[in-house]
């Protein structure tokens, strides 16, 4: 499918996801895809989901940590939309057969107690709007081969979103030091990465302020009850069948997920 405008870019991404077929960068095919247009493409694909019965439940930040920015070669954070169909229960295996090249990353997650609207929101004001803080996992799945994308590509692709998991024990933001909150990421019992909350923009509340101020530039705001994923604390790691990935947070508790594929790894399309 030739990509020449926002509508055809949105169709190409929806098709790549449906067919589980990663594609090349949109920005190579259509160099006119700038950041503003990429957010319009993102809105189009989310609009399709909502018209089909899905529901917007929040926002996620992407590329907020040095670990993620270095791996992706992109130095600007992004925002993307979280919809209800992304949510997995904590005990639900991740359905890998629906995905192309799944990776998983631990995140600090906020649930807002009141509306938050930019511009000019400070980290302190952002944190004051947070009701509870949770441990989270994001399962990402780029629709671009080998996660090879420029910023407009990944923005259009809704920040590589696929699934999210939110831990069960919410904590009041006043009951922990978010900058110092540590996470140990392990795969099948082997520690693969560690980080603290300071990894995301110096403090997760800075990431929240960044999100709400960026949304204001596009005429959007966050609402009470919405979930905000503040960005991968560590680099994301591949998620494989029967593999157990755990994130042990100092105060937020431990979260464990398992990948599940009905197809043996060697027979998978990727
Ligand atoms: O939390 C994140 O940094 C997700 C970034 C989304 C882009 C990607 O890593 O594919
Ligand atoms: Mg993420």
pLDDT tens per residue across all 270 residues of the chain: 789 999 999 999 999 999 999 999 999 999 999 999 999 999 999 999 999 999 999 999 999 999 999 989 999 999 999 999 999 999 999 999 999 999 999 999 999 999 999 999 999 999 999 999 999 999 999 999 999 999 999 999 999 999 999 999 899 999 999 999 999 999 999 999 999 999 999 999 999 999 999 999 999 999 999 999 999 999 999 999 999 999 999 999 999 999 999 985 555 554
State the Cα–Cα distance between residues 154 and 144, nearest whole angstrom: 8
**Cβ of 62 less than 6 Å from ligand 1:** yes
Domain count, the chain: 1
- CA–centroid distance, residue 105 to ligand 1 (Å): 9
Q: Which domain holds residue 114?
A: 56-267
- CA–centroid distance, residue 155 to ligand 1 (Å): 10
- CA–centroid distance, residue 60 to ligand 2 (Å): 7
What is the structure's pLDDT at 267?
55
CA-proximal residue: ligand 1, atom 8 (nearest): 160
Residues 6+ apart with CB under 8 A from 212: 116, 117, 118, 121, 126, 221, 222
Question: How many CA within 13 A on the CB side of residue 197?
Answer: 26
Beta strands in 116-223 (DSSP E): 130-140, 161-166, 182-187, 190-196
CA-proximal residue: ligand 1, atom 7 (nearest): 159
* 8 Å CB contact between 232 and 225: no
Q: What ligand is nearest to the CA atom of residue 72? A: 1
Position 39 in a domain: no
CA 76 to each of CA 13, 60, 181, 211: distance values in angstroms, whole numbers, following the listed order: 22, 14, 24, 12
Position 12 in a domain: no
What is the structure's pLDDT at 264?
59
What is the structure's pLDDT at 23?
98
Position 35 in a domain: no
**Cβ of 49 less than 6 Å from ligand 1:** no
Position 116 in a domain: yes
Sheet with 190-196, strands from edge to edge, namely 94-95, 253-260, 244-249, 182-187, 190-196
- Select from 102, 146, 67 the least CA-distant residue to 261: 102
**Cβ of 88 less than 6 Å from ligand 1:** no
Position 49 in a domain: no
Read off the pTM: 0.96
Position 235 in a domain: yes
Report the residue among 38, 140, 163, 233 best suited for mutation to probe ligand 1: largest number of ligand atoms under 8 A from its CB: 140
CATH of the domain at 105: 3.90.850.10
Position 42 in a domain: no
Phi and psi torsions of 131, nearest 5°? -90, -55
Report angle CA 259, 144, 146 to the nearest 5 degrees. Answer: 65
CA-proximal residue: ligand 1, atom 5 (nearest): 62
What is the structure's pLDDT at 248?
98
Q: What is the dihedral of CA 108, 111, 115, 117, to 10 degrees?
A: 10
- Select from 189, 159, 175, 163 the least CA-distant residue to 254: 189
Position 10 in a domain: no
- Select from 269, 27, 246, 241 the least CA-distant residue to 151: 27
- CA–centroid distance, residue 160 to ligand 2 (Å): 8
Provide the 3-class DSSP secondary structure of residue 51.
Answer: helix
């Amino acid at each position: 499918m030739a990509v020449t405008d926002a509508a055809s870019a949105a169709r190409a991404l929806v098709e790549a996801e449906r067919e589980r077929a990663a594609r090349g960068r949109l920005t190579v095919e259509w160099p006119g895809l700038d950041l503003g247009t990429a957010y319009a493409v993102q809105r189009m694909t989310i609009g399709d989901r909502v018209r089909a019965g899905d529901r917007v439940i929040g926002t996620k930040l992407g590329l907020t940590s040095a670990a993620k920015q270095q791996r992706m070669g992109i130095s600007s954070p992004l925002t993307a939309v979280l919809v209800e169909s992304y949510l997995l229960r904590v005990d639900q295996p991740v359905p890998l057969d629906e995905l192309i090249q799944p990776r998983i990353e631990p995140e600090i997650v906020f649930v807002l107690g009141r509306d938050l609207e930019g511009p000019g929101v400070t980290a302190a004001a952002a944190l004051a709007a947070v009701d509870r803080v949770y441990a989270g996992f994001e399962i990402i799945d780029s629709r671009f081969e080998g996660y090879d994308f420029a910023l407009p590509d990944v923005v259009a692709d809704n920040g590589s979103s696929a699934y999210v998991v939110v831990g069960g024990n919410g904590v009041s933001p006043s009951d922990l030091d978010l900058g110092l909150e540590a996470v140990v990421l392990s795969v099948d019992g082997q520690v693969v990465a560690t980080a603290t909350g300071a990894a995301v923009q110096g403090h997760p509340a800075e990431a929240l302020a960044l999100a709400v101020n960026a949304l204001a530039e596009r005429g959007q705001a966050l609402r009470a009850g919405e979930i905000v994923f503040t960005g991968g604390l560590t680099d994301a790691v591949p998620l494989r069948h029967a593999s157990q990935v755990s994130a042990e947070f100092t105060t937020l508790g431990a979260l464990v997920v398992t990948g599940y594929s009905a197809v043996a790894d060697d027979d998978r399309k990727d």
